Amino acid sequence: MKKLNDIFFSEYKETDNYIKSATVFERGISGYIDKMMETGYTHGKNPEWDLDLKNLKHARWIRNKLAHEEPFDSDICSSDDLYFIVDFRKRIANGTDPLSSKRKKQNRSYPVKRDSRTSRLSNKTGNNTGRAGCLTLVISIAAAILLFAFCSVALS
């Protein structure tokens, strides 16, 4: 489990940093969760929204346990947790995350920082462009390879 926990922790940090750099959420995943909680869009009105919020909170809980309490060789993280955090980062990059989807339904653009660094990461419509698209693809492929390698070793 140590390897899966290591990969999850790394992917969580990547997602957290991506959210900090590509959006207005300076607190990363925690800021994103806070915004989801603020909207009042939960409580059965949108099951996908509720599931994403639950999974984000769970991922943050795992990260906090690994960072502050649990040894990395404990059975705290699953491959589903790893898949969610990598997929969530891709969805933010593609503008298909819960807050972007809600803003699109309301005909508002997703709030992005207006600096040179984020202009490479996303344009005003939230579509992925340039190096950010390649980076997301490379990270996703690397995570899939590591997950496959981990599963192969675990099954052996």
pLDDT in tens, 87-145: 999 999 998 888 888 888 777 555 555 444 444 444 444 444 455 666 777 777 877 77
CB burial of 123-148 (b: ≥16 within 10 Å; e: otherwise) equals eeebebeeebbebbeebbeebeebbe
Range of 90's domain?
Answer: 2-155
The structural domain count of the chain equals 1
For 19, 29, 56, 104, 133, the CA distances from 2, given in Å and listed in that order, are: 26, 23, 21, 40, 29
pTM here is: 0.64
